[in-house]
Structure 1
Amino acid sequence: MTEKPIVLVVDDTPENIDVLSGALRGDYKIKVAASGETALRIAAGEPKPDIVLLDIMMPEMDGYEVCRRLKANPVTARIPVIFITAKAEVSDEQRGFELGAVDYITKPISPPIVRARVRTQLALYDQRRELEKIVAERTSELNETRLAVIRRLGRAAEFKDNETGLHVIRMSRYSRLIAEAIRVSDDWAELLLNAAPMHDIGKIGIPDHILRKPGKLDPDEWETMRRHPAFGAEIISDHPSELLRLSREIALAHHEKWDGAGYPYGLAGEDIPISARIVAIADVFDALTTERPYKPAWAVEKAVALIEQEAGRHFDPTLVGAFREVLPQVLEVRDRYAEHGVHID
């Protein structure tokens, strides 16, 4: 028997929830949320809703902000959102579509209209997923060529201060494991795997005497080193390719910290792109557990303890938990791509 599609109804008024649920319950499985925070948590959980019906005028977090956060999070970005609201001005509707909604229905609702709109948007969602699959298959050769270039550029940066370039191989695989642990889409996890190797491409712009200095950097040298995220973003530049956009995002933001103490912009919390927050953990773990000219390799237990200690300061606490969850697989990757005796294809 085919599972019914899941509809998440978000409204702070119980009567409105009852009306929408009653209109849809026969054909769909209904989940409800009376606040924006609850809606975001349900949408990111399992099983995910197939569509969200979202009120705008709610306390604490309005529907516009809920939609913005849904679309900003790769875990929930593809879920269709229909606004159902009493706000009937053209400017309100325009704003809803600009935030990524697929439809806009004003209250009071007509149950037959709501059912028709939901049915239409779910059909379009299914068609879009099928078309995306076809396009992906037809462009696989081009993607492989692009990925090969990305990987080699990432290794080019690593060869400046790493004899084998294995760091980018390990940390990119760690990044994918963390992403999978928070249940992002398979496509986005794969995209992260292929974008992460470019995180330090900006090191190409750092003089060797600074990059390879065995001792502590002086203030002027450190200021130069802190420019490599901006160098990286400039090297990758703006490009319509989803892969290159994510690569640039990571290169620019992977040294930001959860508490705002990072660089280059001092971003904090969820203002830091989730891609960069994931890569930050993967990058630091691999750096700690790998021998460098200026330090021996740390024991895994010591490195993990530091990352857990830095949850809420350097790192996103939720992602630290995800990292801990996949640590056994991370260590398998680490052993497979150890610094000695591994062939890089």
Structure 2
Amino acid sequence: MPNFTTVNEFLLTRFSNVWELRVLHAMLFLLMYLSTLMGNLLIVTVTTFDWKLHTPMYFFLRNLSVLDMCYISVTVPKACAIFLLDNIVISITGCAAQIFFVLLCCCIELLFLTIMALDRYVAICQPLHYPVILNSQVCVQMTLASVLCGLAYAGFHTSSTFRLSFCQSNVVHQFFCDIPSLLKLSCSEILSNEISIFISTVVFAGGCFAFIITSYVHVFSTVLKLPTSGEQKKAFSTCFPHIIVLTVFISSGAVVYVKPNSSSPTILDMVSSVFYSIVPPFLNPVIYSLRNKQIKEAARKIMRKTLGREKDKIIL
């Protein structure tokens, strides 16, 4: 029998080992991280304190913003550390935690985007039934159902991955732990894992994508019947960016999780991971909220109130 060395820890991979490029990558990641936190925190604050924004649409936007802050925090801080420091080690426990939380956030993100497409469909195509179909109780129930589905999905795939044995190489060819990279390091039979990942990804992501596209098709057909071109342009300018971000999110994830598992890692795998783990949380505040007039007006009101209080304190 061959001699195998059991893996106790993993080594993550940088985009480059050149120091100047490592600093550049860390700065880019850090800028995206801080921008994501600031944008999403602004949305959470505005939609929480402005009572006019206490509607189903902004309820889901607030949930999406909280999720995006958690999502990007799972990978980027550790990535910046391995870019700048000589220590690229991650423990098995830390690796399992990264995989679990990435899958959890990714699953809930897709479900939230699906629910938000449903919200737009009901608001535009069935406006009279909107208060009944999407009342506050239903919104909370759908949010909890999304979280439970995410926990089940992430728990199943994380546990099935770490039942495998890892031996010989412990170099993960990725800037964070993900399942496809770990499967390449396993000395166990991984066919059942690959099949379950492929089927669950195609069924889950494909089903959500089909539902979202169908919803937007109905939205577009209704919008085209509107009398004024201004209303049509407003609806299209809102919906098309949503579809673009969703397409980037799902297609980049499919490149990593659905394509055949190659033994030779490429830089394309790492770049694709950026597009499904970092880009959506970074773009969502801009696409969904910061272009929204109501969000901007509410933000201005909060700023005026805050500045007014500071002036009163100074005078006193």
TM over 0.5: no
Q: Greater relative contact order (Cα 8 A, min sep 6): structure 1 or 2?
A: 2
Provide the TM-score with structure 2 as the length reference. 0.28
Provide the TM-score with structure 1 as the length reference. 0.26
Name the one with the larger helix percent. Answer: 2
